[in-house]
Each structure stands twice: as C-alpha cells, then as structure tokens.
Structure 1
C-alpha cells in the first residue's frame, strides 16, 4: 500500500482561495452574504486555480440561476 502524500495546503485554507488581497470567505463575511451568494463568490473566485474550473463556473451559474428564481418568487429581498 502506498502512503497518501501529505497536502501542501491546509484543508481549511486551500491554495485556490489564496490568490488575491482578500480571501473569498472574508469577502462573504464582510458583505454578510447568504449561502447562495457565498457559493457564487466561492466558485467564481476559484475557477482559475481549480482542477476543473469550467465545472466551478457551471456551479456558479447554477447558483445565480437559483438566486434569480428565488428573487422572482419574492423569497429573496434586495
């Protein structure tokens, strides 16, 4: 059995979130974004560094479409 290689980054601080001046989590918290909005930020911010960046953008698109639907239904306020 081959040992699992050690990660170079912490599971709670992956490198694909450490590319700019502010981490997405700090932006999400400072803007008081909800779950859906936070996921949009997360996936857009990491798509360039992720192994499957296109999938990240598709996930962000899904969350944006969900947010639009909820807004149209009056379930999300401005």
Structure 2
C-alpha cells in the first residue's frame, strides 16, 4: 500500500522537513530537505502531499489529487507540535454543537448564580451567613438599608452560628448597632 504524507500548514511542512532531514532523506533531485526557502511549499499550495521512498531515502512531491486518483493510497496527515513561526494556527478539534454550547453556557451560569450550585467558600460565603438560604448582605442590599440596620440584621441572623462566638456576644453586638440607630434617629427628630 502506498502512503502519502499530507502537510496541511507551513509549520507542518517545516517540521516534517527538519524531521526527515535528521533521518538523512533528500528531495528526489538530491537537494537537502532543509526548509531554507519555502518556495517549494508555496508552489504547491496548502495541503501539500509528499511520498517517502525508504529504499533511496528520498521525498517526492505528489499532486493534490494523487490520493483520489491512485487506488490503495493511504493518506497520513503530519501534524507538527513545535511552533516554528511563533504564530497560532486554529486548534484542530471537534467543537460542541450549538445545542451543546447552550447547555454548557447554562450550566456555567447556574453555577455562578444559583446558591445551591455555589462552592462552599468560607471567605466570601461563610456557613454562619448562609444557613437560611439567603445571605444577610443580599437581603440588606435588596432593601437599601443603612449601616446600622444592616449590622443589626447581620448579627441577629448569625447569632450562635459562628465558630468561637456565643449567641449572647452576637446579640450584644446587634443591640449595640440598634442603640446607635435609635440614637441617630432621635437626633434627627429633635
């Protein structure tokens, strides 16, 4: 069975020439495989095909339709991993369908927005603030409460739930902010 190597990009071409040159292969006319000039690649265009002749250690160009016109020809794509040109070519992969893409986006959205999907984050969502299903800060912000009212709600809702703190200590803090608020409101009334 004949095999034909497909060099789909300039990077694949250069990588293949470097690899085969190390194995002492040459062009059929005796020219070394060093890709000093890309003229041969550009002459035949993208998706260039070559054949290896192992006995004589030579490489020959074949027409792009060679694989179609010659029965029993195996097409072998050569994909170079080294990036010789410091450019980026499209990644060769199967992209998800539009429906799969929508599902992926919805799952990501749900994970960010819905509280039951959130990770247990002890810094931004400590358990002593999330036990009722809603964080006090969300409630406070949704009702546009001032500092004192917000802290009263915060300390009352977390009372007895924070590690190392007693319920009494949190309730005293809530009372302190309630006293500040009452004093502030009484000043306004005068």
Aligned counterpart in structure 2 of residue 39 of structure 1, from 151, 154, 160: 151
Higher relative contact order (CA 8 A, sep 6+): 1
Q: Deviation above 6 Å: which 4+ runs of structure 1? A: none
* Structure 1 unmatched runs, 5+: 1-7
1:12-27 equivalence runs, <5 A: 12-27=124-139
The answer for unaligned runs of 5 or more in structure 2 is 1-119
**Structure of greater Rg:** 2
TM-aligned CA deviation for residue 48 of structure 1: 2.5
Q: Distance in 1 between matches of 2:127 and 2:140?
A: 18
Q: CA RMSD of the aligned region, Å?
A: 1.6
> How big is each residue's C-alpha offset from its partner over 1:11-60, in whole Å with a ceiling of 9 and x where there is no partner?
11110011113210110010001111111110000003123221110000
Counterpart among 56, 59, 62 of residue 176 in structure 2:
62
* Structure number with higher strand proportion: 2
> Comparing both structures, which one devotes a greater share of its residues to helix?
1
Cα distance in 2, alignment partners of residues 41 and 68 from structure 1: 15
